Structure 1
Protein backbone atom coordinates (compact mmCIF):
# COMPACT_ATOMS: atom_id res chain seq x y z
CA UNK A 1 0.00 0.00 0.00
CA UNK A 2 1.39 3.37 -1.06
CA UNK A 3 0.50 7.05 -1.20
CA UNK A 4 -0.77 7.52 -4.77
CA UNK A 5 0.03 11.16 -5.60
CA UNK A 6 1.31 14.47 -4.31
CA UNK A 7 4.32 15.28 -2.18
CA UNK A 8 4.41 11.78 -0.58
CA UNK A 9 3.81 9.87 -3.82
CA UNK A 10 5.16 6.33 -3.61
CA UNK A 11 5.60 6.37 0.19
CA UNK A 12 4.93 2.87 1.49
CA UNK A 13 2.36 2.73 4.30
CA UNK A 14 2.39 0.07 6.99
CA UNK A 15 -0.68 -1.94 7.98
CA UNK A 16 -1.07 -4.00 11.15
CA UNK A 17 -1.01 -7.77 10.92
CA UNK A 18 -4.30 -9.64 10.98
CA UNK A 19 -7.79 -9.04 9.67
CA UNK A 20 -8.88 -6.23 12.02
CA UNK A 21 -7.82 -3.39 9.73
CA UNK A 22 -8.97 -3.33 6.09
CA UNK A 23 -7.03 -0.56 4.32
CA UNK A 24 -8.62 1.08 1.30
CA UNK A 25 -6.94 -0.42 -1.77
CA UNK A 26 -4.59 1.81 -3.78
CA UNK A 27 -6.79 1.60 -6.89
CA UNK A 28 -9.89 2.60 -4.89
CA UNK A 29 -8.06 5.59 -3.35
CA UNK A 30 -6.87 6.60 -6.82
CA UNK A 31 -10.43 6.42 -8.17
CA UNK A 32 -11.76 8.35 -5.17
CA UNK A 33 -9.30 11.22 -5.43
CA UNK A 34 -9.70 11.37 -9.21
CA UNK A 35 -13.43 11.78 -8.64
CA UNK A 36 -12.93 14.43 -5.95
CA UNK A 37 -10.82 16.50 -8.33
CA UNK A 38 -12.68 15.93 -11.60
CA UNK A 39 -16.39 15.39 -10.85
CA UNK A 40 -18.79 18.23 -11.76
CA UNK A 41 -19.41 18.82 -8.04
CA UNK A 42 -15.68 18.43 -7.21
CA UNK A 43 -12.44 20.25 -7.87
CA UNK A 44 -9.03 20.56 -6.27
CA UNK A 45 -10.56 22.70 -3.52
CA UNK A 46 -12.36 19.57 -2.30
CA UNK A 47 -8.95 18.52 -0.92
CA UNK A 48 -6.50 21.43 -1.10
CA UNK A 49 -6.47 23.70 1.95
CA UNK A 50 -9.15 21.57 3.69
CA UNK A 51 -9.34 20.43 7.29
CA UNK A 52 -9.77 16.66 6.98
CA UNK A 53 -11.21 14.09 9.34
CA UNK A 54 -10.20 10.47 8.71
CA UNK A 55 -12.59 8.51 10.95
CA UNK A 56 -12.12 4.78 11.44
CA UNK A 57 -8.64 5.77 10.22
CA UNK A 58 -6.88 2.40 10.35
CA UNK A 59 -3.55 3.01 8.59
CA UNK A 60 -4.46 6.62 7.84
CA UNK A 61 -4.17 6.07 4.08
CA UNK A 62 -7.10 8.38 3.21
CA UNK A 63 -6.03 11.26 5.44
CA UNK A 64 -2.37 10.94 4.44
CA UNK A 65 -3.37 10.91 0.76
CA UNK A 66 -5.31 14.14 1.37
CA UNK A 67 -2.30 15.72 3.12
CA UNK A 68 -0.06 14.62 0.27
CA UNK A 69 -2.42 16.37 -2.16
CA UNK A 70 -2.52 19.68 -0.29
CA UNK A 71 -4.95 19.44 2.64
CA UNK A 72 -4.02 21.79 5.50
CA UNK A 73 -4.52 19.39 8.41
CA UNK A 74 -5.84 15.90 9.10
CA UNK A 75 -7.31 14.52 12.29
CA UNK A 76 -7.34 10.74 12.55
CA UNK A 77 -9.76 8.89 14.85
CA UNK A 78 -9.04 5.22 15.54
CA UNK A 79 -9.57 2.96 18.55
CA UNK A 80 -7.71 -0.26 17.63
CA UNK A 81 -4.26 -0.38 19.30
CA UNK A 82 -2.49 -2.14 16.42
CA UNK A 83 -4.00 0.25 13.88
CA UNK A 84 -3.00 3.24 16.05
CA UNK A 85 0.61 2.03 16.08
CA UNK A 86 0.63 1.65 12.27
CA UNK A 87 -1.10 5.02 11.86
CA UNK A 88 1.50 6.83 13.99
CA UNK A 89 4.31 5.08 12.09
CA UNK A 90 2.80 6.17 8.76
CA UNK A 91 2.38 9.78 9.87
CA UNK A 92 6.01 9.85 11.02
CA UNK A 93 7.22 8.23 7.79
CA UNK A 94 5.49 11.02 5.84
CA UNK A 95 6.84 13.62 8.30
CA UNK A 96 3.32 14.95 8.81
CA UNK A 97 3.26 15.16 12.62
CA UNK A 98 2.84 18.96 12.54
CA UNK A 99 -0.23 18.75 10.28
CA UNK A 100 -1.83 15.75 11.96
CA UNK A 101 -3.64 14.87 15.16
CA UNK A 102 -4.36 11.30 16.28
CA UNK A 103 -7.26 10.64 18.61
CA UNK A 104 -7.51 7.21 20.21
CA UNK A 105 -11.29 7.19 20.40
CA UNK A 106 -14.48 5.48 19.26
CA UNK A 107 -15.90 7.34 16.25
CA UNK A 108 -19.44 6.72 17.50
CA UNK A 109 -18.50 8.52 20.76
CA UNK A 110 -16.00 11.16 19.59
CA UNK A 111 -14.53 13.95 21.67
CA UNK A 112 -15.71 17.49 20.94
CA UNK A 113 -14.12 19.05 17.85
CA UNK A 114 -12.08 22.23 18.11
CA UNK A 115 -12.84 23.15 14.49
CA UNK A 116 -15.25 21.45 12.06
CA UNK A 117 -13.83 19.69 9.00
CA UNK A 118 -14.76 20.29 5.36
CA UNK A 119 -13.72 16.81 4.15
CA UNK A 120 -14.69 13.73 6.16
CA UNK A 121 -13.64 10.16 5.35
CA UNK A 122 -15.58 7.31 6.98
CA UNK A 123 -14.22 3.80 6.42
CA UNK A 124 -15.80 1.60 9.11
CA UNK A 125 -15.93 -2.19 9.20
CA UNK A 126 -18.45 -3.39 6.62
CA UNK A 127 -21.89 -4.71 7.51
CA UNK A 128 -22.30 -3.07 10.92
CA UNK A 129 -24.39 -0.01 9.95
CA UNK A 130 -21.77 2.27 11.51
CA UNK A 131 -21.90 5.15 9.02
CA UNK A 132 -25.26 6.61 10.19
CA UNK A 133 -24.21 6.25 13.85
CA UNK A 134 -20.84 7.86 13.16
CA UNK A 135 -22.31 10.77 11.18
CA UNK A 136 -24.83 11.52 13.94
CA UNK A 137 -22.13 11.40 16.63
CA UNK A 138 -19.61 13.45 14.63
CA UNK A 139 -22.24 16.03 13.77
CA UNK A 140 -23.29 16.34 17.43
CA UNK A 141 -19.63 16.75 18.48
CA UNK A 142 -19.02 19.52 15.92
CA UNK A 143 -16.73 17.63 13.52
CA UNK A 144 -18.77 18.15 10.33
CA UNK A 145 -18.72 21.66 8.84
CA UNK A 146 -21.86 22.97 7.09
CA UNK A 147 -21.73 21.81 3.47
CA UNK A 148 -18.85 19.40 4.17
CA UNK A 149 -18.08 16.60 1.75
CA UNK A 150 -18.53 13.18 3.35
CA UNK A 151 -16.91 10.14 1.73
CA UNK A 152 -18.21 6.87 3.19
CA UNK A 153 -16.72 3.55 2.14
CA UNK A 154 -19.14 0.70 2.73
CA UNK A 155 -19.56 -2.87 1.59
CA UNK A 156 -21.14 -3.33 -1.82
CA UNK A 157 -24.88 -3.81 -1.37
CA UNK A 158 -25.07 -1.88 1.92
CA UNK A 159 -27.54 0.99 1.75
CA UNK A 160 -27.10 4.44 3.20
CA UNK A 161 -29.80 6.93 4.12
CA UNK A 162 -28.80 10.11 5.93
CA UNK A 163 -31.67 12.62 6.19
CA UNK A 164 -30.57 16.08 5.11
CA UNK A 165 -27.46 14.80 3.32
CA UNK A 166 -27.42 14.89 -0.47
CA UNK A 167 -25.80 11.96 -2.29
CA UNK A 168 -23.51 13.34 -5.00
CA UNK A 169 -22.19 10.04 -6.33
CA UNK A 170 -22.01 6.33 -5.64
CA UNK A 171 -19.25 4.21 -7.17
CA UNK A 172 -18.63 0.49 -6.73
CA UNK A 173 -15.11 -0.93 -6.72
CA UNK A 174 -15.18 -4.68 -6.17
CA UNK A 175 -16.57 -5.28 -2.70
CA UNK A 176 -16.30 -1.57 -1.81
CA UNK A 177 -18.89 1.11 -2.50
CA UNK A 178 -17.95 4.79 -2.19
CA UNK A 179 -20.74 7.17 -1.23
CA UNK A 180 -20.04 10.88 -1.74
CA UNK A 181 -22.43 13.07 0.25
CA UNK A 182 -22.86 16.77 0.91
CA UNK A 183 -23.68 17.76 4.49
CA UNK A 184 -26.57 20.18 5.06
CA UNK A 185 -25.81 23.89 5.13
CA UNK A 186 -23.01 25.80 3.47
CA UNK A 187 -23.12 27.59 0.15
CA UNK A 188 -25.47 26.37 -2.57
CA UNK A 189 -23.84 24.56 -5.45
Structure 2
Protein backbone atom coordinates (compact mmCIF):
# COMPACT_ATOMS: atom_id res chain seq x y z
CA UNK A 1 0.00 0.00 0.00
CA UNK A 2 2.65 2.45 -1.01
CA UNK A 3 0.19 5.14 -2.07
CA UNK A 4 -0.47 6.10 1.60
CA UNK A 5 3.21 6.30 2.46
CA UNK A 6 4.74 9.80 2.38
CA UNK A 7 7.50 10.20 -0.23
CA UNK A 8 11.02 9.55 1.01
CA UNK A 9 10.02 7.52 4.07
CA UNK A 10 8.81 10.46 6.14
CA UNK A 11 5.71 11.45 8.03
CA UNK A 12 4.70 15.10 8.44
CA UNK A 13 3.16 16.52 11.60
CA UNK A 14 0.23 18.63 10.44
CA UNK A 15 -0.59 20.78 13.49
CA UNK A 16 0.47 22.08 16.89
CA UNK A 17 3.90 23.00 18.22
CA UNK A 18 5.77 20.75 15.75
CA UNK A 19 3.62 21.67 12.75
CA UNK A 20 5.26 20.86 9.38
CA UNK A 21 8.09 18.85 11.01
CA UNK A 22 9.00 15.80 8.95
CA UNK A 23 10.17 12.68 10.72
CA UNK A 24 11.80 9.62 9.15
CA UNK A 25 9.92 6.33 9.21
CA UNK A 26 11.10 2.79 8.67
CA UNK A 27 10.27 1.18 5.33
CA UNK A 28 8.65 -1.93 6.80
CA UNK A 29 6.07 -4.29 5.33
CA UNK A 30 2.55 -3.43 6.47
CA UNK A 31 3.52 0.03 7.75
CA UNK A 32 0.75 2.31 6.57
CA UNK A 33 0.81 5.80 8.09
CA UNK A 34 -2.60 7.41 8.52
CA UNK A 35 -3.01 9.83 5.62
CA UNK A 36 -2.89 13.60 6.18
CA UNK A 37 -6.55 13.91 5.19
CA UNK A 38 -7.72 11.34 7.74
CA UNK A 39 -5.43 12.77 10.45
CA UNK A 40 -6.79 16.27 9.80
CA UNK A 41 -10.35 15.00 10.36
CA UNK A 42 -9.40 12.96 13.43
CA UNK A 43 -7.55 15.79 15.13
CA UNK A 44 -10.41 18.19 14.41
CA UNK A 45 -12.63 15.69 16.26
CA UNK A 46 -10.18 15.54 19.18
CA UNK A 47 -9.08 19.21 19.32
CA UNK A 48 -10.83 20.12 22.58
CA UNK A 49 -9.83 16.89 24.35
CA UNK A 50 -6.09 16.73 23.56
CA UNK A 51 -4.47 19.38 25.79
CA UNK A 52 -3.41 17.64 28.99
CA UNK A 53 -4.68 14.20 27.89
CA UNK A 54 -2.99 10.86 28.54
CA UNK A 55 -2.71 9.10 25.17
CA UNK A 56 -2.13 5.43 24.31
CA UNK A 57 -1.15 4.44 20.76
CA UNK A 58 -1.68 0.68 20.53
CA UNK A 59 0.05 0.17 17.16
CA UNK A 60 2.68 2.93 16.89
CA UNK A 61 3.96 2.21 13.38
CA UNK A 62 5.13 5.51 11.90
CA UNK A 63 4.18 7.44 15.03
CA UNK A 64 1.92 9.76 13.00
CA UNK A 65 -0.91 9.63 15.54
CA UNK A 66 1.06 9.86 18.78
CA UNK A 67 3.39 12.61 17.49
CA UNK A 68 0.37 14.58 16.27
CA UNK A 69 -1.27 14.25 19.71
CA UNK A 70 1.92 15.31 21.52
CA UNK A 71 2.35 18.23 19.12
CA UNK A 72 -1.12 19.36 20.15
CA UNK A 73 -0.21 19.32 23.85
CA UNK A 74 -1.24 15.90 25.08
CA UNK A 75 0.41 15.55 28.50
CA UNK A 76 1.78 12.03 27.98
CA UNK A 77 1.82 9.29 25.36
CA UNK A 78 2.59 5.59 25.61
CA UNK A 79 3.24 3.80 22.33
CA UNK A 80 3.24 0.05 21.67
CA UNK A 81 5.12 -1.25 18.63
CA UNK A 82 5.83 -4.86 17.67
CA UNK A 83 8.51 -4.32 15.01
CA UNK A 84 11.89 -3.56 16.58
CA UNK A 85 13.04 -1.27 13.75
CA UNK A 86 9.88 0.83 13.96
CA UNK A 87 10.12 1.02 17.78
CA UNK A 88 13.74 2.20 17.57
CA UNK A 89 12.76 4.83 14.97
CA UNK A 90 9.94 6.08 17.21
CA UNK A 91 12.39 6.47 20.11
CA UNK A 92 14.86 8.30 17.86
CA UNK A 93 12.11 10.64 16.65
CA UNK A 94 11.18 11.48 20.26
CA UNK A 95 14.82 12.45 20.84
CA UNK A 96 14.78 14.59 17.69
CA UNK A 97 11.67 16.37 18.97
CA UNK A 98 13.23 16.74 22.45
CA UNK A 99 10.10 15.11 23.85
CA UNK A 100 10.39 13.51 27.27
CA UNK A 101 6.66 13.00 27.85
CA UNK A 102 6.33 9.80 25.83
CA UNK A 103 7.38 6.19 26.18
CA UNK A 104 7.79 3.59 23.44
CA UNK A 105 7.29 -0.04 24.47
CA UNK A 106 8.54 -2.72 22.06
CA UNK A 107 6.25 -5.74 22.18
CA UNK A 108 3.02 -7.39 21.11
CA UNK A 109 0.06 -5.11 21.82
CA UNK A 110 -2.39 -7.81 22.93
CA UNK A 111 0.17 -9.28 25.34
CA UNK A 112 1.00 -5.83 26.74
CA UNK A 113 -2.67 -4.95 27.20
CA UNK A 114 -3.28 -8.16 29.19
CA UNK A 115 -0.75 -6.87 31.77
CA UNK A 116 -3.00 -3.96 32.74
CA UNK A 117 -1.90 -0.50 33.83
CA UNK A 118 -1.69 1.58 37.00
CA UNK A 119 -3.14 4.70 35.32
CA UNK A 120 -5.81 4.86 32.63
CA UNK A 121 -5.81 6.84 29.39
CA UNK A 122 -8.09 9.55 28.02
CA UNK A 123 -7.46 9.01 24.30
CA UNK A 124 -6.50 5.74 22.60
CA UNK A 125 -5.48 5.11 19.00
CA UNK A 126 -6.09 1.67 17.47
CA UNK A 127 -4.71 1.49 13.93
CA UNK A 128 -3.59 -2.14 13.60
CA UNK A 129 -2.19 -3.94 10.56
CA UNK A 130 -5.09 -4.67 8.23
CA UNK A 131 -6.78 -8.05 7.85
CA UNK A 132 -5.51 -9.54 11.11
CA UNK A 133 -8.68 -8.99 13.17
CA UNK A 134 -6.82 -7.13 15.95
CA UNK A 135 -9.15 -4.17 16.57
CA UNK A 136 -12.02 -5.99 18.40
CA UNK A 137 -9.58 -7.95 20.62
CA UNK A 138 -7.68 -4.78 21.38
CA UNK A 139 -10.84 -2.93 22.39
CA UNK A 140 -11.96 -5.79 24.65
CA UNK A 141 -8.57 -5.91 26.41
CA UNK A 142 -8.52 -2.14 26.90
CA UNK A 143 -11.79 -2.28 28.82
CA UNK A 144 -11.10 -5.56 30.67
CA UNK A 145 -7.70 -4.50 32.03
CA UNK A 146 -8.28 -0.92 33.17
CA UNK A 147 -6.61 1.00 30.33
CA UNK A 148 -9.52 3.39 29.80
CA UNK A 149 -10.62 6.30 31.96
CA UNK A 150 -14.36 6.99 32.14
CA UNK A 151 -15.38 8.83 28.98
CA UNK A 152 -12.16 7.89 27.14
CA UNK A 153 -12.18 8.51 23.39
CA UNK A 154 -10.98 5.59 21.28
CA UNK A 155 -10.08 6.03 17.60
CA UNK A 156 -10.24 2.88 15.47
CA UNK A 157 -8.93 2.67 11.88
CA UNK A 158 -9.65 -0.50 9.91
CA UNK A 159 -10.05 -1.79 6.38
CA UNK A 160 -13.45 -0.80 4.97
CA UNK A 161 -14.52 -4.36 4.18
CA UNK A 162 -14.42 -5.22 7.89
CA UNK A 163 -17.74 -3.42 8.42
CA UNK A 164 -19.12 -2.33 11.80
CA UNK A 165 -17.52 -3.66 14.97
CA UNK A 166 -19.78 -5.55 17.37
CA UNK A 167 -19.09 -4.09 20.81
CA UNK A 168 -20.61 -4.18 24.29
CA UNK A 169 -22.93 -1.45 25.53
CA UNK A 170 -19.96 0.31 27.18
CA UNK A 171 -18.95 1.71 23.78
CA UNK A 172 -20.76 4.57 22.05
CA UNK A 173 -19.99 5.39 18.42
CA UNK A 174 -19.44 9.17 18.19
CA UNK A 175 -18.10 9.68 14.64
CA UNK A 176 -17.75 7.40 11.61
CA UNK A 177 -16.16 8.10 8.21
CA UNK A 178 -14.62 6.33 5.26
CA UNK A 179 -11.77 7.36 2.96
CA UNK A 180 -11.10 4.94 0.12
CA UNK A 181 -10.26 1.54 1.57
CA UNK A 182 -10.10 2.87 5.15
CA UNK A 183 -12.90 3.16 7.70
CA UNK A 184 -12.26 5.26 10.77
CA UNK A 185 -14.41 5.69 13.83
CA UNK A 186 -14.35 7.48 17.15
CA UNK A 187 -15.91 5.75 20.14
CA UNK A 188 -16.47 6.90 23.70
CA UNK A 189 -16.08 4.41 26.53
CA UNK A 190 -18.49 4.46 29.49
CA UNK A 191 -17.55 1.43 31.52
CA UNK A 192 -14.74 2.54 33.86
Confirm or deny a common fold (TM above 0.5): yes
Instruction: Give the deviation of 1:74 after TM superposition.
Output: 0.4
- Matched with 1:163 is 168
Match of 1:179 among 137, 160, 185: 185
- Runs ≥4 residues deviating over 6 A: none
Aligned residues of 1:50 and 1:71 also touching (Cα < 8 A): yes
Aligned residues of 1:4 and 1:10 also touching (Cα < 8 A): yes
Q: Does 1:146 align with 2:156?
A: no
Correspondences of 1:106-121 after superposition (within 5 Å): 106-110=108-112, 111-121=115-125
Aligned residues of 1:124 and 1:131 also touching (Cα < 8 A): yes
Unaligned runs of 5+ in 1: 38-43
Instruction: Give the deviation of 1:91 after TM superposition.
Output: 1.4
Match of 2:101 among 99, 102, 106: 99
TM (norm. structure 2) is 0.87
Q: Does 1:10 align with 2:10?
A: no
- State the Cα RMSD in Å: 1.4
- Matched with 1:126 is 130
Instruction: Tell me the number of residue pairs that the alignment of Structure 1 and Structure 2 aligns.
Output: 178
- Matched with 2:79 is 76
**Distance (whole Å) between structure 1 residues aligned to residue 108 and residue 147 of structure 2:** 14
Instruction: Look up the SS of the partner of 1:18 in the other structure.
Output: coil
Unaligned runs of 5+ in 2: 1-10
Instruction: Give the deviation of 1:177 after TM superposition.
Output: 1.1
Instruction: Look up the SS of the partner of 1:49 in the other structure.
Output: coil
Match of 1:63 among 60, 63, 66: 66
TM (norm. structure 1) is 0.88
Aligned residues of 1:23 and 1:61 also touching (Cα < 8 A): yes
